[in-house]
């Protein structure tokens, strides 16, 4: 077992763990915890977020909800829901997950079962420290269309193309808003407050959408 402590999160790595053992760990640890687990190829990563990590996660979630509102998109936010695929023997708990395009398919669901339900349309990982499991490969194998990764400085957007992610300039869901500008609003929130930053972000999104619309004839 190897444990690495970082400023924004801690990561614990367990090797040579069977899929059955991982499922038993999830059951034993329950849902009342703040740690997040991932499993791939016999390796378990346990990530425990600290305040900078969670603060960034919550801020970005607020910005995503603003984007959905301004684009007129319904959304079901499911947080760090455990996503497992028995057929692939893979599992993960993103920092945040969202149903947007497929929201209507799971609107009344109290639980999500990837054996019968579609995967989330978008997941977010806040990774101030380097993950021990390749999340790009993990979530691509689950067929999640869009993956955002924030490392405390940059926000990268990945779109699923075939069986792998490709980094893209614009979010397929929120084009033409340049999502990579979100870190500027995260930093601004430290000066003016979270609600003020959210309000500024909303005004900026409106401006971006308006600027992209064709002029009236």
Cα angle 134-170-9, degrees, rounded to a multiple of 5: 35
CATH number at residue 118: 3.90.1570
Domain containing residue 118: 50-212
Q: What is the mean pLDDT of the chain?
A: 92
Is position 43 within any domain? Answer: no
DSSP-assigned states of every residue in 143-210: T-SEEEEE-SS-EEEEEEETTEEEEESS-TTTTTS-GGGHHHHHHHHHHH-HHHHHHHHHHHHHHHHH
Please tell me the predicted confidence (pLDDT) of residue 199.
97
Is position 14 within any domain? Answer: no
Measure CA of the first residue to CA of the last residue in the chain; give whole Å: 66
The Cα–Cα gap between 177 and 174 comes to 6
Is position 81 within any domain? Answer: yes
The Cα–Cα gap between 75 and 65 comes to 8
pLDDT tens digits, one per residue of 10-63: 899 999 999 999 999 999 988 777 899 999 999 999 999 899 999 999 999 999
Angle separating helix axes 194-212 and 182-192, nearest 10 degrees? 150
Residue 3, pLDDT > 80, answer no
Whether 22 contacts 38, CB under 8 Å: no
Closest CA to 57 of 181, 142, 148, 119: 148
Residue 100, pLDDT > 50, answer yes
pLDDT tens digits, one per residue of 143-168: 999 999 999 999 999 999 999 999 99
Residue 2, pLDDT > 60, answer no
Write down the pTM of the prediction: 0.90
Q: Total structural domains in the chain?
A: 1
The Cα–Cα gap between 165 and 150 comes to 16
Is position 67 within any domain? Answer: yes
Is position 139 within any domain? Answer: yes
Percentage above 90 pLDDT, the chain: 81
Please tell me the predicted confidence (pLDDT) of residue 34.
84
Is position 7 within any domain? Answer: no
Is position 18 within any domain? Answer: no
186 or 111, greater pLDDT: 186
Closest CA to 52 of 120, 148, 152: 152
């Amino acid at each position: 077992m190897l444990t690495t402590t970082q400023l924004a999160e801690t990561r614990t790595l367990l090797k040579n763990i069977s899929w059955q053992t991982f499922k038993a760990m999830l059951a034993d640890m329950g849902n009342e915890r703040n740690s997040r687990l991932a499993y791939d190829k016999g390796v378990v990563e346990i990530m425990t977020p600290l305040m900078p990590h969670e603060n960034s996660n919550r801020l970005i979630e607020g910005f995503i909800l603003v984007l959905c509102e301004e684009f007129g998109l319904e959304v079901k936010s499911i947080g760090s829901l455990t996503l497992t695929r028995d057929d692939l023997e893979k599992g993960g708990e993103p920092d945040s997950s969202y149903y947007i395009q497929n929201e209507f398919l799971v609107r009344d669901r109290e639980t999500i079962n990837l054996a019968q339900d579609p995967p989330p349309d978008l997941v977010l990982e806040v990774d101030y420290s380097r993950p021990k499991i390749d999340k790009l490969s993990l979530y691509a194998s689950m067929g999640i269309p869009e993956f955002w990764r924030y490392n405390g400085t940059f926000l990268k957007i990945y779109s699923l193309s075939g069986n792998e992610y490709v980094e893209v300039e614009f979010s397929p869901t929120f084009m033409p808003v340049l999502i990579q500008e979100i870190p500027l609003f995260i930093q601004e929130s430290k000066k003016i407050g979270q609600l003020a930053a959210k309000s500024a972000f909303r005004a900026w999104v409106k401006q971006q959408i308006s600027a992209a619309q064709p002029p009236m004839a």
